[in-house]
Amino acid sequence: MSSFTITMPDWHEEMEASVAPCHGDRDRMAVAIAFSRRNVAEGTGGPFGAAIFECESGRLVAAGVNVVVPSSTAIAHAEATAVALAGQRLGTFDLGAPGLPAMELVSSTAPCAMCLGVTVWSGVSRLVCGARAVDATAIGFDEGPRPGDWLEELARRNIDVVRDVMRPEAVAVLQDYAAIGGTIYNARAGRA
């Protein structure tokens, strides 16, 4: 039987357990940014953090960080790891399943093309973003072919989007990662 595993860094579980319920977009974004910052500081992955919260209670369900390079797995983006951990903990692939409280995805950077799909199919009812895609591309990341109307598309799917929450703080993590020479991983970089 074939399988694969994406492992979070050693510090992840303890940090996740220390997060108290967060009320408000800024408090929740501070958590996502703290995970991204810690990931960079520890050298355990890319400069992206994300978290799934219960909308009403503010309870953290799962936090994710980008572990593309250490896991040798292109899909190990912060949003994808947060959604996967939340689904495993809740026992469902649908975070919007009947009987569950409404969930939101809080991401230190707006979703790339892949994570936009993860957002749509996760079942979350809300997306909160810090940095913009242009901030990630400014340091060399390829965010992929996101449709120009992605905000409208999420709205059509009843996913509310809030952007630019703590954007300067989220951008600072991206810039710090670039400044220390963090790996900018783009599978097609330099190829036609």
Distance CA 190, CA 192 (A): 7
Rg (CA), the chain: 15
What per-residue string of b and e applies to 97-107 under the rule 16 or more CB within 10 Å gives b?
eeeeeebbbbb
| Cβ proximity of 102 and 55 under 8 Å | yes
Q: Residue 31 and residue 41: Cα distance in Å, rounded?
A: 15
Catalytic residue, chosen from 16, 79, 104, 169, is 79
Q: Are strands 49-54 and 60-65 parallel, antiparallel or unpaired?
A: antiparallel
Nearest alpha-carbon partner for 40 in 14, 78, 74: 78
Residue 13 annotated in active site: no
The DSSP letter of residue 37 is: H
Those residues with Cβ within 8 angstroms of residue 185's Cβ, 6 or more apart along the chain or in another chain: 46, 68, 69, 141
* HEC readout, 53-95: EECCCCCEEEEEECCHHHHCCCCCCHHHHHHHHHHHHHCCCCC
Residues tagged active-site? 79
